[in-house]
Amino acid sequence: MTDEREQDLANLREMVRDFLGDRWSEQQIRDVMADGTGGDAAVWGRFAGDLGLASLPFPEEYGGAGAGWTEVGIVLEEAGRALFCSPYFASVVLGGAALLASGDERACARYLPGIADGSRRATLAAPEVAGYRPGDQPRVTATRMDGAWTLDGHVAQVVDGATAELVLVVAETGAGTALFAVTGEPARTPLTTLDLTRPLARLDFRDTPAELVGAEGAGAEILARVLDVAAIALAAEQAGGAARVVEMAVEYAKVRRQFGALIGSFQAVKHKCAEMLMLAEGARATARTALDALDRDDPEVPLLARITGVYCSDAFVRCATENIHVHGGIGYTWEHPAHLWFKRAQGSRLLLGDPASHLERIAELTEPSGLDELTTEAATA
C-alpha cells in the first residue's frame, strides 16, 4: 500500500473520529436504547449525506464514491469505538452489498443512490444474518402469479428491520433461492434484545408484493457474498469496540486508588491491560488484512471472513469483559458505560454466526492436513 493511500485512510479515520467525538455522546446512546429508533436522524444525515460516508463502497454511476471496503472498515472501526447507533451496517453493508452482488443494474440504479446519500435505509432479511445455520429456520417462499411476485413467511431478528425503507429478502422459488426487494409493507415487530444499540425486528410476509433482484436461483451465491463482506465489516466494528474498552480500562487504572496506590501499579492489572491491548491490536490487524483481501477480490476471502469473525468476536468479548473487571464494582452498574460495550460485544458475537459456526465453515473450506491424510492412509492400509 502506498504512502499516499495510507495518508488518505488516516485522514478518513481522523475525520470520522472528530465528527463522532463532537456529535455523539453516551447520553445519545442511551436515548437510542430507550426509543428504539436505531439512531439520531439528524446525526445520521450529516454522517451519511454531508460527509458522504454511506457512499464509499458504491460505484460512481450509482451515486457512490467509488472507494472500497477498506474505507468502509475504517468508518465501522470508528463507529464501533464510539458505539455509534446508526443504520450504517444494515444499510451500507447488508443492503448495499446484496445489491452489488446481485449484478442487477436496474435495481442498483433504482436503490443504491438513496442508500449512498443516506436518504434510504436498507437491510437484508435472511435467517443466516441472525446467525442461524441453513435449515434451522423456515424460509420465506416466493410465488409468481400473472408476472408478479409475492412473499410468504417470516424472518426473525432482522437488523434495523423496523425502520428500513428498503427490505431485501432471500426467499425460495421454484428455481431455487433468489433475492427480492419488498415493494409492499411487511408486518414489523421490534424485538427486545440484550444489545439495544443494534435494533432487531421480526418481519412477517403475507402475500407481500416484491420484485426479483438479480437472477432467479442466484440467491445462494448472493447471500454467500454478502455474509463474507458482512463478517469482515463486522470484525472491523468489533476491533474498534475492543480498542475503546482498552482505553477505558487504562484511563481508569491511572486514576483509581486502592490500598493507597493507583491500581494501574498492580501487576495483575498491568497484565490485564497488556493482554487486552494485544487482543485489540490483533483484531485491528486481522480485520485490516481481510478488508484488503476483499478489495483485491482474493479467492481466500470466504476463509479469511470466518477466521476474522472468530478472532475479532473473541477479542471484543474478552476485552469488554476485562474492562468491567478492571473497573470493579462500578463497572457492573447501569450508570457506568462499560456494560454498553459489553452488550454490543455479546450481540455482535452471535450476529452472522457464533465462533463455533465460523470454525465449522473453516473446516469445510480447508483441505485435510498432511497428518489427516497419513491417518486416513493408515486406516485403509
Residue 321 CA: distances (Å) to CA of 123, 192, 277, 308, 341: 30, 22, 13, 20, 9
pLDDT per residue as tens digits for the range 329-365: 899 899 999 999 999 999 999 999 888 888 888 998 8
Compute the distance between CA of residue 257 and CA of residue 251 in angstroms, rounded to an integer: 12
- The architecture that CATH gives domain 221-370 is Up-down Bundle (1.20)
**Helix (H), strand (E) at residue 144:** strand 140-145
pLDDT per residue as tens digits for the range 294-323: 999 999 999 999 999 999 999 999 999 999
Contact 330, 336 (CB under 8 A): yes
Q: Would you state the pLDDT for residue 5?
A: 87
Residue 205 binned pLDDT confidence (cut-offs 50, 70, 90)? very high
Topology of 125-217 in CATH?
Butyryl-CoA Dehydrogenase, subunit A; domain 2 (2.40.110)
Compute the distance between CA of residue 130 and CA of residue 206 in angstroms, rounded to an integer: 21
Task: Output the average pLDDT for the chain.
Answer: 92
**Helix (H), strand (E) at residue 261:** strand 261-262
In this model, does residue 196 exceed pLDDT 50?
yes
**Helix (H), strand (E) at residue 150:** strand 148-159
Q: Which of 110, 223, 136, 236 is nearest to 171 (CA)?
A: 223
Q: Give me 333's grid cell.
A: 452498574
Which is more confidently placed, 191 or 257?
191
Compute the distance between CA of residue 144 and CA of residue 131 in angstroms, rounded to an integer: 29
For the entire predicted model, the pTM comes to 0.93
Domain positions in the chain are 3-90+97-120, 125-217, 221-370
Q: Would you state the pLDDT for residue 313?
A: 96
Q: Would you state the pLDDT for residue 381?
A: 47
Contact 96, 58 (CB under 8 A): yes
Mean pLDDT confidence for 30-46: 89
Within this chain, domains 3-90+97-120 and 221-370 share the same CATH topology: no
Could you give the percent of the chain with pLDDT greater than 90? Answer: 81
In this model, does residue 195 exceed pLDDT 60?
yes
Residue 370 binned pLDDT confidence (cut-offs 50, 70, 90)? very low
Q: Would you state the pLDDT for residue 374?
A: 40
In this model, does residue 76 exceed pLDDT 50?
yes
What CATH homologous superfamily does 3-90+97-120 map to?
Acyl-CoA dehydrogenase/oxidase, N-terminal domain (1.10.540.10)
Residue 371 binned pLDDT confidence (cut-offs 50, 70, 90)? very low
pLDDT per residue as tens digits for the range 275-289: 999 999 999 999 999
Q: Would you state the pLDDT for residue 264?
A: 86
Compute the distance between CA of residue 306 and CA of residue 2 in angstroms, rounded to an integer: 28
